Structure 1
Amino acid sequence: MRDVPAVRVVTDSTASLPRPGHAAVADVLTSPDVAPTVVPLHVLVDDEVRREGVEITAAEVAERISRGERLTTSQPSTQELAEAYRDLAAQGARAIVSVHLSGKLSGTVATAERAGQRAMLPVRVVDSGTAAMALGFAAVEAARCAAAGCDADHVARRAEQVAASARALLLVDSLDHLRQGGRLSGPAAALGQALGVRPLLGLQDGTVDLVQRVRTRKASVGRLLALAEEHADRATRPVVAVHHLGAEDRAEEIAATLTERIGVRPVVTPVSAVLGTHVGPGALAVVVADRGGHVHDLEPGGPW
């Protein structure tokens, strides 16, 4: 049994981490003393604050949006993050690396910095510049380094490295949800729905931006797969995730195709409830990140 790491990793629920068991994350997520601590963001339903993953799920968000309800979101409070840091300190942590979704999409990074100033131990905050499993893979890889006994600087650099390597591509049935939430870049927000254009979007430089205009659903999925494959081919050790909101069958089809083309079995998981609020039902996304050659020998049986 491993000792509790001196450095612990915190992330937020927009990382959309899967349930334990997938090969890409199982070695970390199955160990509570190693896994990143996840702090929920909030979905506001009829002026009631609900913590995603605790009091509201992505499936419920999809159902409510489909009924025409208007949902909004907010970051965790300073107190919620401070409590997470305090709990880890009580468990024996001597430093924390707190890795969060893009500061251009949410105030969570700024809130984590305020909470870190109140903490009784050093807190290193990392703006991943991304979200979903692009953030999730970064947090998991950081947790692997922490489990290997690395210091906080090393753990933070690892999170930054993996987040920077990630490519996140997104297809939505409608831009309205992203546009209403103010999460689109200028070029993407200006794109209309005329002539049946289906935009392929990406998380680039911390914001949701237009990657390419595509005419049909079939062509947009084809282009999504091609770009994901290109990015995986450039990676040393690619890890892949496929996200969806209320489109599990389509996500599984995309995952099966990517497995054949890349030789890596993707994590398939819904986007978080907060992200789902902004992308809307029917959304599909693919994330590819690179674990690179960074390996720690943690046990006699070999490296992770």
Structure 2
Amino acid sequence: MKTLLEFEKPIAELEDKLIEMRKLAIENNVDVTEAVKSLTEKILELKQETFSNLTRWQRVQLSRHPDRPYTLDYIEKICSEFIEIHGDRSVADDKAMVGGFGNIDDEFSVMFIGQQKGRNTKQRQYRNFGMPNPEGYRKALRLMKMAEKFNKPVVCLIDTPGAFPGLEAEERGQGEAIARNIRDMFMLKVPVICIIIGEGASGGALGIAVGDKVLMMENTWYSVISPESCSSILWRSWNYKEQAAEALKLTANDMLSNGLIDGIIPEPLGGAHLDHDGAAKTLKEVIKRELTALNKVNPQVRILDRIEKFSKMGVVQE
């Protein structure tokens, strides 16, 4: 059954009317061409108006839509061939973090790395709700080093509500694993592209988000804390999550205006969850374009540019 967010319901009602109108026309052999055209135009106008005026909280809701494509969905549609690589060679294979080599149109061989969520309860438990443990970040770093060894670019697809906050994760060095990833990603000699495809929460996202190009899809968010957690800290309640989202300024447009990302990837009208193929096609074109440009840059220059870009963040001159 199709999942609808509150602001999607008026559009869905009109679309249901359109389906019913076409069905009745066929059953009664009636020409409703003009009525169908008029209603189709009305639906398009309503979609454009709705999705061009979304609040920050509504963007957060879209980023979490259960029908939204996840990391492996994009990899499947972008790559002609993909070989997943498992394990951190130390503790375990974290199912919340996936990665492996993939071919894009026989033009690029790329190391894809990203967090993976689940569609149903069983999958979500298996993937730990997309929240990696320390071994997930150590696996990601192992794959990055492997890509560097074979001179293959790295593409990170970020979609996580945060690193797993459990006691056992802290005992195994969650903070250290994320910090090591951030440090070592600065020094990778191969091109690194990081793309927020859903939720980009805190260090859980930043642990695989240091790159030459950091991009966000249109209906995603990227912040040090989620709106709910911010609300619970400031107001001692989750009821103020919408105000928290506005205060955090966590959308792609906010991040771009603050100089924290390098670009925004447009989604199909209505969101990526309505058109997986369209969203993947756009993402693929962006990845190919960025890799073509980055491959022309000297590795040492890329490293220095990467360091300079992140070093300038948060610096204010008066």
**What TM-score, normalized by structure 2, do the two folds share?**
0.31
Larger Rg: 2
Of structures 1 and 2, the one scoring higher in RCO (CA 8 A, sep 6+) is 1
Q: Which has the higher helix share?
A: 2
